[in-house]
Amino acid sequence: MLLRHTPKKLEEREALTINPAKTCQPVGAMYAALGIHKCLPHSHGSQGCCSYHRSALTRHYKEPVMATTSSFTEGASVFGGQANLLEGINNIFTVYDPDVVAVHTTCLSEVIGDDLNQIIRKAQEEGKIPKGKRVIHTNTPSFKGSHVTGFANMTQSMVTYFSENTGSRQKQINLIPGFVEPSDMAELKRIMSEMGVKSVMFPDTSGVLNGPMTGKFKMFPNGGATVDQIKSAGDSFFTLALGRTASLPAAKSLDTKCKVPCEILDLPIGLRATDIFVDNLRKTAGVNVPDSIKFERGQLLDVITDMHQYFYGKKAALVGDPDQLSSLAEFLTDLDMKVTVVVTGTPAGPKFERRVHEASGEKTTVKYGLGSDMFLFHQLVKNDKPDLIFGNTYAKYIARDEDIPLIRTGFPIYDRIGHQYFPMVGYKGALRLLERVLSAVMDRQDRDAPEERFELVM
């Protein structure tokens, strides 16, 4: 395998990426759009681009992802895609009848310079958008950012196009969940419901990409935030945004447009981050934390206490999305594990580096943005071999090559199931994560134990 030729010696690379630690913006934009009820994502570019975006999401969620495309050919590539998009909008509403069409750009349409604002206005003037239907858009060039920034851009567009301040404040909180799994979004809603907090969460892919098998095809699942709910976000009295990279732009736009104040929190992965999330809900909504939530927290503490000796001193290397990595680094450090390496391909900025160092210490090697790819991650792993690797499916090759257990986290995960149905956020999510980490540690201990130390009981 080529991985076995990865050198330990680190070299500075400014113009070369080898196996990027991210996917492109349109993938994240498409995922966010699926979190609107009866929304059909539309890729303004070639059929190949749209096929890749759909394929990435379908393979990760094991669900058919519906989306349309402007189907650029040579003519559109030279003269622009306005005619294709106008005809596409007309066909989409005629054939599929969605409530919303969410258009995102690709490399090709960005390089051409198509003005989507103008094209959507023209479609409205020509009557191609039926009454009561909406077309929104965001710019997501694939040659910059990542799937996380694409998600952030589409979520921000939901605020731009839908949110309204009617002058009548509602006793509800907005929750922008960040780039997390449908199971995580469902868990966040459950926690708020347990605490008696009325909320609007957008986007919301729970029930969309982790739905049941009923034997009947449904073009638009029951899940997703409705347009009316997103409109009402402008009348909420507060916004909690989870994850600086994925959720901050939408929260700030909502504050600017509708004067809804916001607080940016880390994703509630692990004990400390979940405590902060629950406490912010309690203070903001003026409610008490119910016994049911305290019970879940107690269970998590019980497992941490019982199994602490197996976590203590274990070294971990992390690769993935910045919002998840900072919270995960904090949680592992709270378990007395040592986070040695954190790498993300997303251009997360120096604030991300500072946050990771606050969570896990200054000795942690943090890399982000250009040149921070799987090749670099492999080199860092070779130089300071950890006990565990946390990352997506692509990290399995490094894990196998270096004989290190892999805990699958982030996006994409193509070769396992469960992430769609079992959360990683909240106390319940942290408990599941602990079980996975402990199983990996104990499986390795059993595999390597001499016969006289091959114990039946932990």
Is 381 an active-site residue?
Answer: no
Place of tokens 């565990």: 388
At residue 400, the 3 state secondary structure works out as helix
Burial bucket for residue 252 (CB in 10 Å: 0-12, 13-18, 19+): middle
- DSSP character at residue 36: B
Asked whether 183 and 425 are in contact (CB, 8 A), the reply is: no
- 419-423: list long-range contacts, CB under 8 Å, 24+ apart: 419/60, 419/181, 419/183, 420/61, 420/62, 420/63, 420/181, 420/182, 420/183, 420/209, 420/210, 421/183, 421/210, 422/183, 423/181, 423/183, 423/184, 423/186, 423/187
Cα 198 to Cα 237: distance, rounded to the nearest angstrom: 11
Helix (H) or strand (E) holding 238: strand 236-242
Beta strand pairing call for 170-176 and 236-242: parallel
The vertex-383 CA angle with 377 and 386, nearest 5°, equals 75
Is 262 an active-site residue?
Answer: no
How many C-beta atoms lie closer than 10 Å to residue 298's C-beta?
11
Query: Which residue blocks in 312-425 are alpha helix, DSSP H?
Result: 322-334, 350-360, 374-383, 396-402
Cα 403 to Cα 385: distance, rounded to the nearest angstrom: 10
How far are the Cα atoms of 87, 165, 333 from residue 119, in angstroms, in the given order? 11, 27, 50
Place of tokens 């892999």: 406
Cα 100 to Cα 41: distance, rounded to the nearest angstrom: 8
Within 8 A by CB and 6+ apart from 347, the residues are 144, 145, 146, 149, 368, 369, 370
The one catalytic residue in 24, 107, 200, 343 is 107
Cα 206 to Cα 341: distance, rounded to the nearest angstrom: 32
How many C-beta atoms lie closer than 10 Å to residue 227's C-beta?
22
Within 8 A by CB and 6+ apart from 41, the residues are 29, 30, 33, 34, 66, 67, 68, 102, 104
Token pair listed for 23? 């996917």
Backbone angles phi, psi at 103, to 5 degrees: -90, 130
The catalytic residues are 107, 111
